[in-house]
Amino acid sequence: MSTTHHLGDLLRELAPQVLGVLLRRHGGFDSCEDAVQEALLAAATQWPADGVPDKPRAWLITVASRRLVDQVRSEQARRRREVTAAVREAPDADLAPGPDDGGPGERDDTLKLLFLCCHPALTPASQVALTLRAVGGLTTAEIAQAFLVPEATMAPRISRAKQKIRAEGASFRMPTWPEWPDRLAAVLQVLYLIFNEGYTASSGPDLHRQELTGEAIRLTRMVQLALPDDGEVAGLLALMLLTDARRPARTAPDGALVPLAEQDRSRWDAAAIATGTALVTDAMARSPLGPYQLQAAIAALHVQAPRAQDTDWEQIRVLYQILSRIAPNPMVTLNHAVAVAMSKGPRAGLDLLSEVERDDRMARHHRLYAVRGHLLELAGDDAGARESFLLAARRTTSLPEQRYLMGRAARLGEVPGHPSPPGEGP
């Protein structure tokens, strides 16, 4: 891993922790996040030349605190009380890290920050977007990709969410027990989206962003410890573990994407599979059935098959059918179409896929065309499959996925600028 890549990972990991410290000390979500962003920019500029400090978290807290004090001092008289509070805290930040700013026992406010971002005053979409930005560290473009909306639509949504948090005077604390149900659904959706972005990055040269999958799993474990009897929390954690277990086999040595059917299953993480399977089995036995449990059960069926041809596609089809009823969305229908094709034949899958094609949200999404290409290839329509794979390749911003889709198209016929493999031409 390059030094630049490592630095980016470190800053992404530390950003929500530093934001949590500033919120606990000073309050003011919007101003604290601005200060943290300035500190991150300073680190990205200085650390490559000067070296990473011994206590990078404390360094960021100190710089962000100074930036915040500068912001507060420049505000009008109506904010004098906040200025006084900030100045009173500033010397500690300027002179040395506080007792919770370094060392093995340092305090991590990330989970508290997670629930603050899921404040009930925000719409569910704003809760998810703000948390992805503040806790997950995703860019506005990545969040827009997760929501299937343009970046120009997402940026104002995040800005309005921060302003709403400030206007509501939301306190930086864990929710009380009566508040948990209102916050939990948004929290789980946020963690799900962060994990998905890490498992298959929406853009860039790498298929995985392990810092995001690792953080999503870590935070979900924290929520599960707080709510050990909640079946959907356990289901989400199981889904993450069962999915992430396949990660070692998803890429070739050169970074190329390896599809599920071609993966070396001996490289899968057996311990994660065992833990995830036990979690979802227990959750489904004692809790009301929910979408995360169903997705985890589907993931468990995939990883339990010793070979791709042993996959129980009929059971997976039935689970997707149930999932489509209790949590319908175009991505579920897309996956359902694959399961139908594998159990009932490709034409049956293509018939179901026509429902997704009528959804305007999916018109720009590469996965629609990738799945269509796969099903057309199964149906023997090589020309149609090749065209769909090329459309998918043009729509994805992930370089590994783009190369994989171009390769699929090339196997079905000559692609301009991408010669067919020997023996696989038209």
Give CA–CA dist 212/117, Å, rounded. Answer: 18
SS3 sequence of the chain: CCHHHHHHHHHHHHHHHHHHHHHHHHCCHHHHHHHHHHHHHHHHHHHHHHCCCCCHHHHHHHHHHHHHHHHHHCCCHHHHHHHHHHHHHHHHHHHCCCCCCCCCCCCCCHHHHHHHHCCCCCCHHHHHHHHHHHCCCCCHHHHHHHHCCCHHHHHHHHHHHHHHHHHHCCCCCCCCHHHHHHHHHHHHHHHHHHHHHHHCCCEECCCCCHHHHHHHHHHHHHHHHHCCCCHHHHHHHHHHHHHHCCHHHCECCCCCECCHHHCCHHHCCHHHHHHHHHHHHHHHHHCCCCHHHHHHHHHHHHHHCCCHHHCCHHHHHHHHHHHHHHCCCHHHHHHHHHHHHHHHCHHHHHHHHHHHHCCHHHCCCHHHHHHHHHHHHHCCCHHHHHHHHHHHHHHCEEHHHHHHHHHHHHHCCCECCECCCCCCCC
Position 422 pLDDT exceeds 80: no
Q: Which two tokens stand for residue 402?
A: 């783009």
Rounded alpha-carbon distances, angstroms, from residue 364 to 60, 194, 196, 376, 390: 39, 21, 18, 19, 14
% of residues, the chain, pLDDT over 70: 87
Q: Which residues pair with 203 in a beta bridge?
A: 397
Residue 22 lies in a domain: yes
Position 293 pLDDT exceeds 50: yes
Q: What is the pLDDT of residue 150?
A: 86
Q: Which of 410, 375, 419, 376 is nearest to 390 (CA)?
A: 410
**CB-CB contact of 64 with 36 (8 Å):** yes
- How many domains are there within the chain? 1
Residue 2 lies in a domain: yes
The rounded mean pLDDT for the chain is 84
Indicate the range of 105-109, 131-135, 389-393, 421-425 predicted with least confidence. Answer: 421-425
Model confidence band, residue 417 (pLDDT cutoffs 50, 70, 90) = low
φ, ψ at 406 (rounded to 5°): -65, -40
Model confidence band, residue 90 (pLDDT cutoffs 50, 70, 90) = very low
**CB-CB contact of 203 with 142 (8 Å):** yes
Q: Which residues pair with 418 in a beta bridge?
A: 415
Q: Tens digits of per-residue pLDDT, 133-160?
A: 888 777 788 888 777 688 899 989 998 9
Residue 69 lies in a domain: yes
Residue 98 lies in a domain: yes
Residue 91 lies in a domain: yes
Q: Convert 76-95 to b/e letters by CB count within 10 Å (16 or more is b).
A: eeebeebbeebeebbeebee
Q: Are strands 397-398 and 203-204 parallel, antiparallel or unpaired?
A: parallel
Residue 55 lies in a domain: yes
Q: Which two tokens stand for residue 351?
A: 């018939």
Model confidence band, residue 374 (pLDDT cutoffs 50, 70, 90) = very high
Q: What is the pLDDT of residue 96?
A: 35
Q: What is the pLDDT of residue 239?
A: 98
Q: Which of 304, 259, 257 is nearest to 280 (CA)?
A: 304
> What amino acid is encoded at 71 in this protein?
Q
Residue 5 structural domain: 1-105
Q: Which of 190, 189, 200, 194 is nearest to 247 (CA)?
A: 200
Q: Which two tokens stand for residue 139?
A: 């860019």
Q: How many C-beta neighbours within 10 Å does residue 40 have? A: 20
Residue 8 lies in a domain: yes
Whole-structure pTM value: 0.76
The CA dihedral of 298, 303, 309, 315, to the nearest 10 degrees, is -20
Residue 31 lies in a domain: yes
